[in-house]
């Protein structure tokens, strides 16, 4: 029998703050977390703005030696996992450790560590390369370090699917729990790409905004004046549990993960398939998996990156999915507020989706001032909106044509 999967804890460090309450306060206030880059010298870069996690101190989560040995993307993952496990009041014991897993992905991994290693090799030679370079740079080490820090001995791996990574992590964690392979899994994503190499690479691909004089207004999904996404960093994880495991330990249940759909565009390395055809198949699959119909969807947390082609394709996919209801269902992009966290985008947006259910508040799309005729849905412009939210679909689409849709539902004991 398939098990029900519920969310019992959440953790996030993001451009809107250092925990989930700060994230939600920023969402409610329709505030932007984007600003001038301070993490590196950006004077010679085309894009000099980003969504940074300001005020973050990894020493609050690990000792000085571990801080030095790990990349920032690992620091952010550990911070998010710490909050998720603390709020869920779950601790590993000899009796349950084997049943608690970790699936935390990253799209890029330790890019700062890689760049530093290349510089050391060139300037000081191979003998000066740190023995900790490999474990600091490889994508799976966020998941590995979280498991070691908290003694979690269940399933452990790292999906890497660009901007769909965090959503893939959550979806796969849910499937493992449904199959009985784990009782609980810490799942999500982490990313720390704000380095000269990271920024220059995306700028060269013409993917990111260069609205340097207006950082707070740079991420503007579905707006006619959008010019690319804003590169951001952060970590976000959810604690997923088998419902019976959660009930047995008296856990507070925040929402239920009921649907997971995934597909491939098989079209282009960066551009979406025409009409959002691949995204549409992922959304339909997620609803079928949930046993729901398009009529059941109350709100869509869109991928909405603020790229010209991507926003149009997602809009077209949503119209096809919802049919006549397309103009009645609110759609918004939280990336308008905190930018694009790449491998952590799907997981932080999953958290926003759960919070929307808990608070009956639909997050806004800020910076929506000039409507694009090809993007003509209800994007909840500029101000959060009260409204009953029972079912949320959260979309994540990545370079390479990776598409994921997750469906969250208000928890009912008898559902």
* Residue of 75, 163, 168, 289 with catalytic role: 163
- Backbone conformation region of residue 74, classed left if phi is above 0, alpha if psi is from -120 to 50, else beta: alpha
* Residue of 75, 168, 289, 303 with catalytic role: 303
* Residue of 168, 340, 375, 402 with catalytic role: 340
Catalytic residue flag (residue 163): yes
Catalytic residue flag (residue 40): no
Helix H, strand E, coil C: the string for the chain is CCCCEEEEEEEEEECCECCHHHHHHHHHCCCCCCEECCCCCCCCCCCCEEECCCCCCHHHCCCHHHHHHCCHHHHHHHHHHHHHHHHHCCCCCCCCHHHEEEEEECCCCCHHHHHHHHHHHHHHCHHHCCCCHHHHHCCCHHHHHHHHHHCCCCCEECCCCHHHHHHHHHHHHHHHHHCCCCCEEEEEEEECCCCHHHHHHHHHCCCECCCCCCHHHCCCCCECCCCCECEECEEEEEEEEEHHHHHHCCCCCCEEEEEEEEEECCCCCCCCCHHHHHHHHHHHHHHHHHCCCHHHCCEEECCCCCCHHHHHHHHHHHHHHHHHHHHCCCEECCHHHHCECHHHHHHHHHHHHHHHHHHCEECCECCCCCEECCECCCCCECCCEECCCCEEEEEEEECCCEEEEEEEECCCCCC
Catalytic residue flag (residue 168): no
Alpha carbon distance 259, 263 (integer Å): 14
Active site residues: 163, 303, 340
């Amino acid at each position: 029998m398939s098990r029900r999967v519920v969310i019992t804890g959440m953790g996030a460090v993001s451009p809107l703050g250092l925990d989930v309450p700060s994230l939600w306060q920023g969402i409610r206030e329709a505030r932007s977390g984007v600003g001038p880059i301070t993490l590196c010298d950006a004077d010679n870069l085309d894009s000099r703005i980003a969504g940074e996690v300001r005020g973050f101190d990894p020493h609050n989560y690990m000792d000085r030696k571990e801080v030095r040995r790990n990349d920032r993307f690992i620091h952010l993952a550990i911070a998010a996992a710490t909050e998720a496990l603390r709020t869920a009041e779950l601790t590993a014991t000899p009796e349950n450790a084997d049943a608690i897993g970790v699936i935390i992905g990253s799209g890029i991994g330790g890019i700062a560590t890689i760049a530093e290693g290349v510089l050391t090799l060139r300037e000081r030679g191979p003998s000066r390369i740190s023995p900790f370079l490999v474990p600091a740079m490889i994508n799976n080490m966020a998941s590995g370090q979280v498991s070691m820090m908290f003694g979690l001995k269940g399933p452990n791996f790292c999906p890497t699917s660009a901007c769909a990574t965090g959503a893939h992590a959550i979806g796969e964690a849910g499937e493992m729990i449904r199959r009985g392979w784990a009782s609980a899994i810490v799942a999500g994503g982490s990313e720390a790409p704000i380095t000269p190499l990271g920024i220059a690479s995306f700028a060269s691909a013409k993917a990111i905004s260069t609205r340097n004089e207006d950082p707070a207004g740079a991420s503007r999904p579905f707006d006619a004046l959008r010019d690319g996404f804003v590169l951001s960093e952060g970590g976000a994880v959810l604690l997923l549990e088998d419902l019976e495991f959660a009930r047995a330990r008296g856990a507070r249940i925040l929402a239920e993960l009921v649907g997971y759909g995934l597909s491939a565009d098989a079209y282009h390395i960066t551009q979406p398939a025409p009409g959002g055809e691949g995204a549409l198949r992922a959304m339909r699959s997620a609803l079928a998996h949930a046993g729901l119909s398009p009529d059941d969807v109350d709100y869509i947390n869109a991928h909405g990156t603020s790229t010209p082609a991507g926003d149009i394709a997602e809009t077209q996919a949503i119209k096809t999915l919802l049919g006549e209801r397309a103009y009645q269902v609110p759609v918004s992009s939280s990336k308008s507020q905190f930018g694009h966290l790449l491998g952590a985008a799907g997981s932080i947006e999953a958290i926003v989706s759960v919070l929307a259910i808990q608070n009956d508040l639909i997050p806004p799309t800020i910076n929506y001032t000039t409507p694009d005729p090809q993007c003509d849905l209800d994007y909840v412009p500029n101000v959060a909106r009260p409204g009953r939210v029972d079912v949320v679909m959260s979309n994540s689409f990545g370079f390479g044509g990776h598409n994921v849709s997750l469906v969250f539902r208000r928890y009912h004991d008898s559902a």
